[in-house]
Amino acid sequence: MDKQLLIDNIRKVPDYPMKGIMFFDVTTLFKDRRCLEEIVNEVFEIYKDKGITKVAGVESRGFVIGAAVAAKLGAGFVPVRKPGKLPAETVRESFAKEYGRDVIEMHTDAIEPGDVVLVHDDILATGGTASAAVRLVQKFQPKAVYANFIIDIIDIPRLSPISADVEVSSLLQLSEK
């Protein structure tokens, strides 16, 4: 994987969404064909032999890579969304993040007990969204759960660690500084 290509194409936005936060904007990776291919191919390589049956992409940037990887793995795609965005019955999980509280939801029929699920999102920072997404998926009692991120921001304290029984990977480990 060409890590430098990815690093060179990430837009850093200081003080967004609030003062003191350095926001890593991965949409700049998605608009570059080479970066998009690098990310999808690398995530596929990590998980191609894990028996993934569903990819749960976290709203909204997790949808982009999550859906592409699901298609490449021959797996289904499950959206993890903010409240009120899914049309049928949902299950929800609330969580704290670095700049407030939030809730995510999935359809109640999204995952079966025999599924092997990859949770994908763009950034792992304090762990709030990631750990909530994993907990949400685990409510369905799948066979196994994995978690993957494009970027792990390594110098931010994990306020909500991901469950120790979940294998976690990231393509890049970057500093907020």
d(CA 29, CA 148): 16
Residue 42 falls in the annotated catalytic set: no
d(CA 111, CA 98): 29
**Which among 38, 42, 61, 81 is annotated as catalytic?**
61
Name the DSSP letter for residue 144.
E
Q: For the CA atoms of 20, 154, 31, 76, what is the dihedral angle to 10 degrees? A: -120
Residue 93 falls in the annotated catalytic set: no
Which residue from 74, 54, 57, 76 is spatially nearest to 65, judged by alpha carbons? 57
Q: How many CA atoms lie within 13 A of 11 on its CB side?
A: 11
On the question of a cis peptide bond just before residue 17, with omega within 30 degrees of 0, the verdict is yes
CA 91 → CA 58, 147, 166, distances in Å?
14, 19, 20
**Which among 98, 112, 167, 176 is annotated as catalytic?**
98
Catalytic residue annotation: 61, 98
